[in-house]
Chains A and B, each alone.
Chain A
């Protein structure tokens, strides 16, 4: 066999010589098949499969559970992106502004959002005459960390950070479930956000950061300071309307406000 002093040995021979110098059991590798001991292919495969299954199970179980979205109602409505401006609808240069003070737990606010607001949008916002701005008057909650009015308002602001305020707004009103009985608990809000197609990681991070809740509390304090203690309360260029108003009454106020600024509303397409 190869000797360490060989000078013109092949690479293989040199390696064998090195092994011999290290005192291994023989100067050359023994054929692997001749060793009787050692793991079998089957045993190695079983261990490998078990290890892979363990890792897969750990990976799958460490993922956040998907919220249960069963039973949620899809509002199936959304305003065109072109008129959405954060928590407002319509351009900031619109001659007339309607400020809507609302609480997401308030059933009358839901009726306004579902029955009246779309008509105002269709008649006046799309034509550029009106801008509708939403403010939080989260007055129906019980206070404390689990105040569902504030939680819902904070959640809507978290959705706003993803440019999805109005989608989430519609989902919230479509999925009211009484007041202060878990309809807008954190878990259900996350489920609603999931159903609404929001980025859940961003949504939860924003919701838990607390900035949205603080902003909603500021809005609510401002509402209380302005004497607003009922929702919805609307202000058409400062003229206040409390409760759900007929569309025609609001339309008259909007057109009057526009006329006061020398703007004539375009003829209505809906007659």
Chain B
């Protein structure tokens, strides 16, 4: 298993995390664009966050934050795929930079949830965790990029 993981290109891990984030953001986007509320189960807070004016960027008639999450995940996936297929460093750098920007926005949004809305949406938290993971993996890969490139060019 470990050996198999070692044989896996790190871009695959990034793409898997990007797809996970894309799935979460897509679900929230579809639900919110339909004017419905996300399923929260026994965990409370999704409804409150979804109904909040902060759930949209650009004011009450703006786009749901989740739609930006979809755009971000698609862009990150495309960059990870590009890096995987071509080894072009700018793609990895782009993944690192975009995920860092996403993490910073996620920190702001978590602050809004905790201290302004007073509720936490578990879907948003899942997306946030995936974003932090993507950023950390991209950072780790960036710092080892020479070794990775050498290993995959042998």
Write the residues of chain A forming the contact surface with B, with a CB cutoff of 8 angstroms: 12, 15, 28-35, 38-39, 41, 44-45, 47-49, 51-53, 55-56, 58-59, 62-64, 201
Contact = CB atoms under 8 A, between A and B. Distances in A.
Nearest to A202: B51
Contact of B146 (A28, A32, A51, A59): A32
A48 B98 contact: yes
Interface stretch (B12-20, B26-34, B38-46, B54-62): B54-62
B152 A12 contact: yes
B87 A45 contact: no
Contact of A31 (B96, B104, B105, B153): B153
B96 A28 contact: no
B150 interface: yes
B105 A33 contact: no
Majority secondary structure of chain A interface residues (helix, strand, loop or mixed): helix
Given A38-B90, A64-B59, A31 B54 contact: no
Nearest to A38: B89
Contacts of A64: 53, 59-60
- Which 7 A-B pairs have CB atoms at the shortest separation, nearest pair first? A33-B146, A52-B104, A29-B87, A32-B149, A48-B100, A44-B97, A48-B97
A29 B97 CA distance: 23
A28 B86 CA distance: 10
Contacts of A33: 145-146, 149-150
B53 A49 contact: no
A9 B109 CA distance: 49
Interface size bucket, B side?
20 to 34
A47 B97 contact: yes
A32 B100 contact: no
Given A48-B97, A56-B108, A201-B60, 18 more contacts: A28-B153, A29-B149, A30-B87, A31-B150, A32-B87, A32-B145, A34-B146, A48-B101, A49-B100, A51-B97, A53-B104, A55-B101, A55-B105, A58-B58, A59-B105, A59-B108, A62-B62, A64-B59
Contact of A58 (B57, B96, B97, B101): B57
A32 to B, nearest CB: 4
A41 B89 CA distance: 11
A184 B60 CA distance: 25
B104 A56 contact: yes
Given A30-B87, A33-B145, A62-B58, A49 B153 contact: no
A31 B97 CA distance: 21
Contacts of B90: 38-39
B142 interface: yes
B95 to A, nearest CB: 10
B93 interface: yes
A45 B104 contact: no
